[in-house]
Structure 1
Amino acid sequence: MEIEQLSQQHALEIANDWHYETPYDFYDMENDLEDYEEIVSQEARGDRYYQVLREGKLYGFFCLEQKGERTLELGLGMKPEHCGKGQGASFLQEILDFIIANFAPQVLRLSVADFNHRAQQLYLNMGFEVVRRIPQESNGDIHLFVEMEKKV
């Protein structure tokens, strides 16, 4: 796998062409205007978004945000056609290896929708622990999210 800055072409593909099956369509970019506007704008994305390529093709993406001195918040997405096929662990491990090698955070944090047990199980398996459940605004409504952290 190759990891590099997210290109504008791939940002538009993620924003406009990635459609997940119900209930995961919650993660379709067009369902959250704020997320959509951020990913399609090179200026808004800054250098925080990365693309994950496999054999030169877009496989997934992630974004990083500094939270405090040694904590990085991770957001990630896998191309819909690869979801639910047992590929999450290798995908996430590649991303974790990249982050640790390049940013050396002490703590990695992520938030996952409460209904998304598939992702939560993956994160638990990969050493993340549940910190708290919090309501957050998303997709024009309030939804429950599970905040998880991993000590690096």
Structure 2
Amino acid sequence: MKNIKIQKLSQCHAEEIANEWKYEGIYKFYDATEDAEDYQELISQELRGERYFEVLSEDQLIGFFVVNDSIPKVLDYGLGMKPELTGHGNGKIFIQKTIQYILENYDVEKITLSVALFNKRAIKCYEKCGFIKEKEFTMETNGLYIALLKCIESVESYNKDSSEEQNDLFIKTL
């Protein structure tokens, strides 16, 4: 991933993600078409508001993320990578770049995310990026009750000039 650029999610890219991104096997759960409410939020500019962002590498769409900052100093974060890029070691740099953007643009002390318990690959990546497992919970989504894991990270310090090697340290637990 080179020349990463993050900007507001365009309608064209929202429709591509919603209609064309299809994940294999158990990861099909993450297809936007699997949940009508998620699908509508993704394709409707009005419902997306200012919360959705696209991530480009060499001007090609590689992923997106969504933020919810309704709780002061806490930002809940969701993300998705282009299906063919998952499972190949791209997650860590993707997460680091998106969190760097969040820290530069939002006043936060904690970043949270939720992940399906079956997604061991993502959980491992989140842990490598400094997230800590907080609690397990169940919620109805995609017409199913699914076990989820809530992960949390407290932001203590961040040096935006740090080298890529030091990026593992930009999120620290208080």
TM-score (norm 2): 0.86
Correspondence for 2:138: 135
Equivalent residue in structure 2 for 1:15, among 18, 26, 48: 18
Instruction: Name the counterpart of 2:105.
Output: 102
Residue type of the partner of 2:29?
F
Q: Counterparts of 2:70 and 2:106 in 1: how far apart (Å)?
A: 13
For 2:82 and 2:107, the matched residues in 1 are separated by 27
RMSD: 0.6
What does 1:1-150 correspond to in 2, within 5 Å? 1-150=4-153
Unaligned runs of 5+ in 2: 156-174
Rg (Cα) greater in structure: 2
How many Å separate the matches in 1 of 2:37 and 2:136? 22
Percent identity of equivalent pairs: 43
Secondary structure of the structure 1 residue equivalent to 2:97: helix
Could you tell me which runs of 5 or more consecutive residues in structure 1 were left unpaired when the two chains were aligned. Answer: none
Deviation at 1:66, TM superposition (A): 1.3
> With structure 1 as the length reference, what TM-score do the two structures score?
0.98
* Partner Cα separation in structure 2 for residue 98 and residue 132 of structure 1: 26
Structure 1 residues 17-63: Cα deviation after superposition (integer angstroms, max 9, x where no partner): 00001111110000011100100000000010000000111000000
- The alpha-carbon deviation at position 104 of structure 1 amounts to 2.8
**2-side partners of 1:67 and 1:135: how far apart?**
22
d(CA) in 2 for partners of 1:46, 1:103:
16
Aligned positions, number: 152
- Tell me the alpha carbon deviations over residues 59-113 of structure 1, each in whole angstroms, 9 at most, x when there is no partner: 0000000141110000000000100000100000000100001103100000000
Structure 1 residue ranges (4+ consecutive) displaced by more than 3 angstroms after TM superposition:
none
